[in-house]
Amino acid sequence: MNSKLFCSLLPFLPAIRNLTRCAFVSLLPVALLLLAVPARSGDAPQWMHALVNAPLPAHDEKADVILLYSEKVVSVQSADKIKTTVREAYKILRPGGREYGILAVSYNPRKKITAMRGWCIPAQGKDYEVKDKEAVEVSLPKIEGSELISDVKDKLLRIPAAEPGNIVGYEYEEEEQPFVLQDVWRFQGANPVREARYTLQLLAGWEYKATWMNYPEVKAAQSGNQSQWVVSEVKGIRHEDNMPPWQGVAGQMIVSIIPPGGSGRGFQNWREMGIWYQGLTSGRRDASPELKQKAAALTSAATAPVDKMKALASFAQHDIRYVAIELGIGGWQPHSAAEIFTHRYGDCKDKATLMGSMLHEMNVDSYYVIINTERGSVTPDTPAQVGGFDHAILAIKMPDGLTDSSLMAAINHPKLGKLLFFDPTDELTPFGQLNGALQANYGLLVGPDAGELVKLPELPPEMNGIRRMAKLALSPAGTMTGDVQEVRVGDRAWAQRWALRTVTKDSDRIKPIETLLSHSLANFQITKATVGNLQRPDLPFVYNYSVVTQNYAKTAGNLLLVRPRFVGNKSSDLLETKEPRKYPVEFEGPSQDIDTFEITLPAGYEVDDLPPPVNADYSFASYHSKTEVNGSTLKYTRTFEIKELSVPVSKVDDLKKLYRIIAGDERNTAVLKPLTH
C-alpha cells in the first residue's frame, strides 16, 4: 500500500525484496556499518525452530537460498489504520545468499515500523538474536532518474552468521495510514518457496476482492472475519535475458479492501481508479495569468494547430527540469500547473499537468495516462491497482479534421475521437512519437467521466531503426577503406543521444562507433568522423565516418575471400543456452534496420563466387539479404525487421533458427579470383 507513482527514463527496477536483490546493492556501504553490531545469544522463536528439519522444496544447484516460510498478516483496524506483521525465514545454501542476512524495511510519515527482530539458527552452536534497537535508519540512495526529495526511508537490521548451512529469519510489525485500501501479496520471486501464508483480518461488515495473477487461484480458508491463503512448493523464477518484467510473470495476489457500502479509498475496477485519480488532479491544471501569457507567447509564431502543440511540447520537454519531490500523497498527486511553471521543474505527472494546462489555453483537451515503463507489467487481466504503474503521460484529443503524417502515436477512441499519446518527460522522443517501451503497452486513461485501460499504439517498424550505407574500396593487399553513413531514427536515435548527452569532447562522441566496429573488424582506424543532429530530436541522428581496416580480405592461394557484410551484427546468442526457455522473448520495440554496402573490387580481380541470398520470414521478424555484382562493384544489401514485440515460448525455436541463419549470413564470404585474359 506504499507504492508511489514516479517516473524514470531508466528501466524500472522492482524494489520488492522477494523478487530481486538489486535494490540492496546500493545499500551495501550502509550495510557494512552494521558489521559492528555484536552477535548476541538469544533463542530463535518456535516457528523458526520448526523449520530446522523441514524438507526443502525442489531447487537447482544455482539456488542461493530457500524461502522456508513466509507469513504476512494484515489486520484492518479502520479505513485509516492497518497493521501488518511479516515473518520470513531463509535457509542459506550458497555464499551468494549471505545478503539475506540484511533486512531492509521501508517506512514514511504515514507508515511506521513498530517492532523489528532477527535471528539466526546456525548449523552448529547457539542461536543469535538482534533486536530493534540495533537497527539503522537510512535515507534511500539517490538514483539517476528517481526522486530528488522523498519521505521514504529504510530501516536496516543485520542478522549475524548469515552463512551457508544456517537459517536466518526475522519478524517486523508496521502500522500504516493508507492512501488506498489495497494490498499486494508477492509470494513468488527468484527463490524457491517451501510455504507462504497470507492472512487478512477485516472488521465486521467489511469485504475484500482478491485477484490472482500468474498463478492458479487458491481459495481462502474462512474463519469469521479472517481469511487465509496458503501456497507451497512455489518455484523460483530464474532470470532470462529479454524476459517479461517480474510483475508480468511472478505469482501474486492483489487484495482490494472494501468498507461497508463500497465507498472509501478503494476501487474494484479501472473505472473507479480513474475517478480516484480525477479527484487527486482536480483543479491542478488551472493556469495562472503568467502561465496563460507564456502559452500565448509560445504559440504566437505558429499558425497550424500541430505547430502550436509542438511549441508547447518542446517547452514541457526541455524547459521544465525533471525533479521529483514526492512527500506523502505527492507520490501520486501532481503539483499545480502554476507552481510547476513558476519553479520550472517537476516530475512526470507534473510535466503532464503543465502540458495539459497549456493545451487547454488553445482549446485542446487532454487526459492523464498512467502507465508502467515496462511493457507487460500491466495487461488486460490485471486488476485495478496503483502499484502497477510508475509513469504518467498525456493523451491529447486531436481537433476534428486535423491530419498530419508526423502524428504516429495515435489511436481512434470510440467516444473521445483521435487521441495522440505524448510523453512530456521524454525529451529525446519528438512530438507525435513514442519510445518502444510505451508502444503496445497498457495504460490507465483518465477520461472526462472515469478511467479505462487502453492499449497504446504500436508504430510501424520503419519509424525505429538504422539505415547504414557504405562506399568502400578493397585493395589487392586486402585493405578496405571507405566512408560510412548511419542514419538512426526512433529509439535507435534516442539511445545515441542519451549516450552522448554529457559528452563534450569530439573524440568521445565517436566511441559508440569504435565499439560497433570492434565487434565486426579485427583491426581498424577511424580517419574522420562527424555527428549530425545531436541536439535535434525531431531530425534523424547521423554518424558519418571514414575507416581503414588492414587485412580485411583473406588470401587463399591466388584467391581473395571478402565478407560482404562490412559492419553491424544482427545475430544473437540469446537463446544458445543449456536450459530450455521458460518465458517469452521481449523486444524493446518494432524496428527495421537496413544495410547497403558497396565495395569496389581491387584492380585485376573479378568475382568467382557469391554467397546465396537469404530470405527468412516469420510472424515476429524477417531477414532478407543478397549479394550481387554490378561491373566492378560488389553490392550487399540486407533488411532485418522486428514485427511483433513478444515471441512466445512456442516460437523461440524459430527465433533461435532465425538468429542462426543471420549468423551464417554475416560470416559468408565472396570469392574473388584474378582476371584471366
At residue 405 the predicted structure's pLDDT band, cuts being 50, 70 and 90, is confident
- Indicate the residue among 210, 235, 262 that finishes a domain: 262
- Any idea what the CATH number is for the domain that residue 651 is in? 2.60.120.1130
Rg of the chain's alpha carbons, rounded to an integer? 29
Spatial distance between the Cα atoms of 82 and 178, rounded to a whole number of angstroms: 7
Q: Which among 168, 198, 135 has a CA at the least distance from the CA of 64?
A: 168
Q: For strand 81-92 and strand 102-107, is the pairing parallel, antiparallel, or unpaired?
A: unpaired
Cell of 109: 510519515
Q: What percent of the chain has pLDDT over 90?
A: 81
Query: Where do we find the cell 541470398?
Result: 613
Q: What type of residue sits at position 385?
A: Q
1 lies in some domain: no
Give percent helix, percent strand, percent coil of the chain, each to the nearest 5: 20, 35, 45
Under 8 Å between Cβ of 470 and 636: no
14 lies in some domain: no
Torsion of CA 185, 186, 187, 189, to 10 degrees: 180
Instruction: Express each pLDDT in 305-341 by its tens digit.
Output: 999 999 999 999 999 999 887 777 778 899 999 999 9
Mean pLDDT in residue range 63-75:
97
Does residue 207 share a domain with residue 183? yes
Under 8 Å between Cβ of 108 and 153: yes
At residue 148 the predicted structure's pLDDT band, cuts being 50, 70 and 90, is low
Q: Which among 635, 328, 335, 586 has a CA at the least distance from the CA of 471?
A: 635
137 lies in some domain: yes
Q: What is the pLDDT of residue 465?
A: 97
Q: For strand 554-556 and strand 559-562, is the pairing parallel, antiparallel, or unpaired?
A: antiparallel
Average pLDDT of every residue of the chain: 90
Does residue 521 share a domain with residue 437? no
User: Starting from the edge strand earliest in sequence, which strands make up the sheet with 40-41, in order?
Assistant: 40-41, 128-130, 111-121, 167-176, 81-92, 65-78, 193-201, 226-234, 221-223
Does residue 409 share a domain with residue 315? yes
Residues with Cβ within 8 Å of 250's Cβ and at least 6 positions away in sequence, in order, are 19, 186, 188, 189, 214, 237
Under 8 Å between Cβ of 138 and 27: yes
Q: Where are the alpha helices (DSSP H) in 246-387?
A: 246-249, 270-281, 289-299, 305-314, 337-343, 348-361
Instruction: Express each pLDDT in 2-52 by its tens digit.
Output: 344 445 433 322 332 333 332 333 344 444 444 445 556 679 999 999 999
Q: What is the pLDDT of residue 320?
A: 95
Q: Is 102 a residue whose pLDDT tops 90?
A: yes
Dihedral sign, Cα of residue 403, residue 491, residue 470, residue 511 = positive
- Indicate the residue among 227, 262, 297 that finishes a domain: 262
- Indicate the residue among 228, 262, 296 that finishes a domain: 262
At residue 147 the predicted structure's pLDDT band, cuts being 50, 70 and 90, is low
Does residue 602 share a domain with residue 509? yes
377 lies in some domain: yes
Does residue 281 share a domain with residue 174? no
- Any idea what the CATH number is for the domain that residue 58 is in? 2.60.40.3140
Q: What is the pLDDT of residue 28?
A: 44
Q: How far apart are the first and last CA of the chain?
A: 83
Question: Count of CB atoms within 10 A of residue 651's CB?
Answer: 18
Instruction: Express each pLDDT in 603-657 by its tens digit.
Output: 999 999 999 999 999 999 999 999 999 999 999 999 999 999 999 999 999 999 9
Q: Is 425 a residue whose pLDDT tops 50?
A: yes
Q: What is the pLDDT of residue 38?
A: 53
What CA–CA distances, in Å, run from 645 to 437, 440, 583? 10, 8, 14
Q: What is the pLDDT of residue 401?
A: 84
Does residue 481 share a domain with residue 413? no
Q: Which among 251, 272, 271 has a CA at the least distance from the CA of 263?
A: 272
29 lies in some domain: no
Q: Which among 565, 579, 573, 504 has a CA at the least distance from the CA of 534?
A: 504
For the chain, the domain total comes to: 3
28 lies in some domain: no
Does residue 292 share a domain with residue 190? no
Complete DSSP assignment for 537-564: TTS-EEEEEEEEETT-SEEETTEEEE-S
Residues with Cβ within 8 Å of 529's Cβ and at least 6 positions away in sequence, in order, are 509, 510, 513, 543, 544, 545, 546
At residue 574 the predicted structure's pLDDT band, cuts being 50, 70 and 90, is very high
- Any idea what the CATH number is for the domain that residue 316 is in? 3.10.620.30
Q: What type of residue sits at position 262?
A: G
Does residue 487 share a domain with residue 455? no
Does residue 277 share a domain with residue 254? no
Q: Is 396 a residue whose pLDDT tops 60?
A: yes
591 lies in some domain: yes
Q: Which residues pair with 674 in a beta bridge?
A: 605
Q: What is the crossing angle of helices 289-299 and 305-314, to 10°?
A: 120
Complete DSSP assignment for 408-476: -SEEEETTTEEEEEE-TT-TTS-TT---TTTTT-EEEEE-SS-EEEEEPP---GGGSEEEEEEEEEE-T
At residue 264 the predicted structure's pLDDT band, cuts being 50, 70 and 90, is low
Under 8 Å between Cβ of 69 and 195: yes
Does residue 469 share a domain with residue 387? no
Domain holding 47, by residue range, is: 38-262
Max Cα separation, the chain? 101
Q: What is the pLDDT of residue 659?
A: 98
Query: Where do we find the cell 483521435?
Result: 418
Cell of 89: 525465514
At residue 265 the predicted structure's pLDDT band, cuts being 50, 70 and 90, is low
Spatial distance between the Cα atoms of 430 and 539, rounded to a whole number of angstroms: 9
Q: What is the pLDDT of residue 140?
A: 60
Residues with Cβ within 8 Å of 221's Cβ and at least 6 positions away in sequence, in order, are 227, 228, 229, 230
pTM of the model: 0.89
Under 8 Å between Cβ of 394 and 422: yes
Q: What type of residue sits at position 124?
A: Q
Q: What is the pLDDT of residue 27?
A: 42
Does residue 372 share a domain with residue 232? no
Report helix, strand or coil for 74: strand
Report helix, strand or coil for 246: helix
